[in-house]
Amino acid sequence: MVLIVNTLIGWFHLLILVFVVGVVLSRWIFFTGQDKGINLPSSFIDDFLLKTAIKGGSLLILAMVLLFSRQLVAFRDPFVPWMEDAWLLLRHTYWGLSWTATLIATSCSTAILYVMGNPGWRFATVLFLAGSMFLSFSGHANAVEGVSGLIIAADVLHVWAASGWLGSLVFLVVLDRAWRKQNETVGSLFPALRFKISTSSIVCVAILVISGVLTSSAHLSAVSDLAKTSYGQFLLLKIVLATVCIALGALNWLLVRKNFQHTENLEKLKDRISKEIRIGQMVLLTTAIVIQVSPPGHQTSDQVISWQMLLIRVIGVGMFFYVAFFVVILFFAAFLLKGSKLSSG
């Protein structure tokens, strides 16, 4: 019973976290620097983005409180008062310090959007992204001997990529429904955004897979751990579900390349996206279980990693640095492009 409750709390936190970060990333990926020839209801979208981020931030604060209650119960000493235990957890454990910093960041980002409105997006984005690092700094990634910094970075990218893919998809579905409900005579927003959606999904999935390979290799000592250990079995289930989800995403990408203006193709895409989101939720549920199980591969000086897992880890590290280099070049190119537009203007 305790495991079920703890899993549901973790699942709720992951769902809200991925959605909120997805909303934040959608703000910059889909609705900043609108392309010529694409007409979108900017005022409606800006207002909806702001309200959704504020509501999501409030729910994320609630999820953080639930996480603290779960941790406090696990930390509880029956011979010590509750308040003393809570104080010890907050002030004298790494988990408590990370939780406090995350709660402050989430609360401040939500308050900034509520008070400042759209001008506060830059500050709120930084704080939301910083707050999304909580699981990486307080979970399995921080317990890897020797390469914890690299694994934490990969884990953070993993969360951001999942949010940029699934979180953004959920937000776009909700946004489209709200738009069509308010304006029954107009069409869907998806045709105007289809190429941005497909491009961002491909990038996010690539980062998700690469960072997942690296972090998984750090938590396993051998490939056989996937079948022989509880952690490996749940991780394998997560990999299978994620593969199905990615396959559905690939079908959606192919559908986007067709004549998208036909109602039949649009409805088919929306149906597949709904299935993709539901399977993604199952992936997050499995993740909530994996987080609670101790990994078998956290290496110590007297343990030996198998050559297969070592090879996977080396490949994962190489791909990770390749992606990191690509992201740096991408940001540099965007900076140069922005500078050239300003100078020409």
> What is the C-alpha to C-alpha distance for residues 25 and 232, in angstroms, rounded to an integer?
31
Task: Report yes or no: 23 and 49 within 8 Å, Cβ to Cβ.
Answer: yes
Mean pLDDT, rounded, for 100-116: 95
> What is the C-alpha to C-alpha distance for residues 136 and 211, in angstroms, rounded to an integer?
12
> What is the C-alpha to C-alpha distance for residues 192 and 261, in angstroms, rounded to an integer?
10
Region label for 33, one of left (φ > 0), alpha (ψ between -120 and 50) or beta (otherwise): left
* Beta strand ranges found along the chain (DSSP E): none
Highest mean pLDDT among 43-52, 259-268, 294-303: 43-52
- Please state which of the ranges 84-98, 120-134, 273-287, 310-324 shows the lowest mean pLDDT: 310-324
Q: State percent of the chain over pLDDT 90.
A: 34
Residues 6+ apart with CB under 8 A from 116: 123
Mean pLDDT, rounded, for 288-300: 75
pLDDT given for residue 79 in this prediction: 76
Amino acid of residue 148: S
DSSP readout, 192-228? Answer: HHHHHHHHHHHHHHHHHHHHHHHHHHHH-SSTTHHHH
Instruction: Count other C-beta atoms under 10 Å from residue 244's C-beta.
Output: 16
> What is the C-alpha to C-alpha distance for residues 166 and 287, in angstroms, rounded to an integer?
14
What tokens does 126 get?
């930084």
> What is the C-alpha to C-alpha distance for residues 108 and 57, in angstroms, rounded to an integer?
10
Task: Kindly report, residue by residue over 140-164, the tens digit of the pLDDT.
Answer: 777 776 666 778 888 888 999 999 9
pLDDT given for residue 339 in this prediction: 47
What integer best gives the mean pLDDT of the chain? 81
pLDDT given for residue 331 in this prediction: 57
Mean pLDDT, rounded, for 235-262: 79
Structural domain span for residue 127:
2-344
What's the helix, strand, coil split of the chain in %, to 5? 80, 0, 20
> What is the C-alpha to C-alpha distance for residues 170 and 278, in angstroms, rounded to an integer?
10
Question: Which contiguous run of DSSP H or E holds residue 329?
Answer: helix 307-344
> What is the C-alpha to C-alpha distance for residues 75 and 62, in angstroms, rounded to an integer?
20
Residue whose C-alpha is closest to residue 19's, from 162, 221, 179: 162
Q: Is the pLDDT of residue 208 over 80?
A: yes
C-alpha pair distances (Å), 65 with each of 55, 70, 122? 16, 9, 25
Query: How many domains, in total, are found in the chain?
Result: 1
Mean pLDDT, rounded, for 182-192: 75
Instruction: Count other C-beta atoms under 10 Å from residue 111's C-beta.
Output: 15
Task: Name the DSSP class of 163.
Answer: I
Q: Is the pLDDT of residue 236 over 60?
A: yes
> What is the C-alpha to C-alpha distance for residues 256 and 321, in angstroms, rounded to an integer?
31
138-176 burial string, b = 16+ CB within 10 Å, else e?
bbbbbebeebbebbbbbbbbbbbbbbbbbbbbbbbeebb
| pLDDT grade for 94, boundaries at 50, 70 and 90 | confident
